[in-house]
Structure 1
Amino acid sequence: MLDRSRRGAASIGILFVRHSRPSGLLVAFRAKKLMDVRIRVMKRADIPAGMRLKDLAGWNQTEADWERFLDASPQGCFAAETAGRVVGTSTTIVYEGRFAWIGMVLVDPEFRRHGIGAALLDRALEHLDSLGVPAAKLDATPEGRPVYEPRGFVAEFEIERWVLARQPPLPAVVRDDALAALRPILNLDREVFGADRSHLLASLDRDAPELTLLREEKGKAAAYALGRHGSRADHLGPWMAGEESAAAEILDEFLRRTRRERVFVDIVKSNRFAEKLVRARGFVFSRPLTRMVRGPNGYPGRPELLCAVLGPEFG
């Protein structure tokens, strides 16, 4: 694990990490004062602390999203704690035993640059290795790649966050008989994503059924999308379509149904038409991300069919 040389240990900013089983990792660093940071399993009682951290980072998650992480992986979400205060988090979700997703690596700005984020990442990887999960994936910012690459992560494909800011739209009326059936979406999503994530997508559909969209051709699912009501914006994703006309139809219907002034979407950069479609509707580029994988990528799915991913926190 992470362990820096003890030479010059009296100087400011020296970090030590050691195992302290069964309680997990214990991080101690010298700053203005000596401080112990314990990394432990995250509990539901920590959700308000997680919300505080994501607000400090300007992220879009809700309490329902934290519930999704903890429901999916009750022993695989972690909190960094010092003096009774949660100052960092990381989450994992294992998809069908094929690969896992790492997300929500957050550190309180007051405690950054002391290796806490790296220790949270290492604890997540240690957990996944103990389960025998063959591969781990995540979406990295440019600043995060230097942390992930030494741990064996390599680039899979590029993603871009685009943001739409608009006048408040008129409330959309969505009849019950216009709500999409979820089962055809779940079957196709397993092929496109590379693993089953039915439980997660079903929870999104329960929270925002009006944002679940399906286009069928000859009785089969040909394009689909789901959405989330985030704390700062509605989020479109996953958004899948093999043809531009179907992708445009899904996007326009999503924008008609969402009532928020801001909409986020994380498009696959190599997609032939996703950028063209969102740009034409007023979205602007926000930031780049890189999907990365550690271990054998035996189940890559079919990313060439994806206009947009579900999101950096879920995959």
Structure 2
Amino acid sequence: MKELLKKLVTTYGPSGNEDKIRTVIADEIRDYVDKITVDVMGNLIAHKKGNGPRIMLAAHMDQIGLMVTYIDENGFLRFSSVGGVSVVNTIHSKVIFKNGLVGVVSYENEISDIKKVNLNKMYIDIGASNREEAESMVAIGDMAVYYTPFAEAGNNFTCGAMDNRSGCAVLIETIKHLKNCANDAYFVFTVQEEVGLRGARTSAFAIEPDIAIAVDVTGTGDTPKSMPMAVKLGSGPAIKVKDGSVIVHPKVKTLMVDTAKGMNMPYQMEILEYGGTDSGAISLSREGVPSGVLSIPCRYVHSASEMVSKSDMENGIKLLTAILEKQIEL
């Protein structure tokens, strides 16, 4: 698990540029599924044949990023956000471009109140001395992502892109652990979730699942003076009830809860007051799809140092495996 997660979170893959991470994931699962396809949007779809209902499991493989919009005469890069980029989380962070170029994000010094800083007042410093030198290294439209080392902290892992490479790792390990898949399973590693759940929408339309479960991260309420939330790191994977994109279908929620109880597995119930996941788009595909979410608790979401628990991920794998190995009744 550790080495797989490290490989995933340190692979470049912002929204719309998922080719590198898609290759890594495909190489990991190729020997464990019956068929792999890549659709027009770039979603990686792995099919494991079974006789039961058609179930779609989705984990988005894209990460948030910064897109270069302008290069000034001194070689500094102005940028816009790709996904939910926070000003506070980005100041003085290191970022890396697809070609391996590393830069530092900062802001205009004449700003006296940090509350007045927005992305338009920020820039990326790549060490260039002028526009011509900078243009030899990057181009308008190039994207950068947070650049931080992978590390362990007790039972936890920290790095950027845990959202949602931790979910991808759970899905990959579930594929590898499956012995007898009682359902017709489609594992979808989706694109462009961070900019509007786009890959989930098109892949669900094509697959026409009978039921769907997205795997993604969620926030926690266990840090000092955090927003009250009944989710803690290390207390088990979370079963979503509601977020900004979906109210989970009762049948899917019951399936997940009953399976966890039957395994005597720790789990948490999650109500996220903001944001959304691929399940929001999947649930509205065609005439509608009963959809739910298995969430990995994550501290410091959308920062360069997101933190997840090893045990939460391991229990998430066990739960998904158990669900897929029993005949799902619709």
**TM-score > 0.5 by shorter chain:** no
Query: What is the TM-score normalised by the length of structure 1?
Result: 0.28
Query: What is the TM-score normalised by the length of structure 2?
Result: 0.27
Q: State the structure with bigger RCO (CA 8 A, min sep 6), 1 or 2.
A: 2
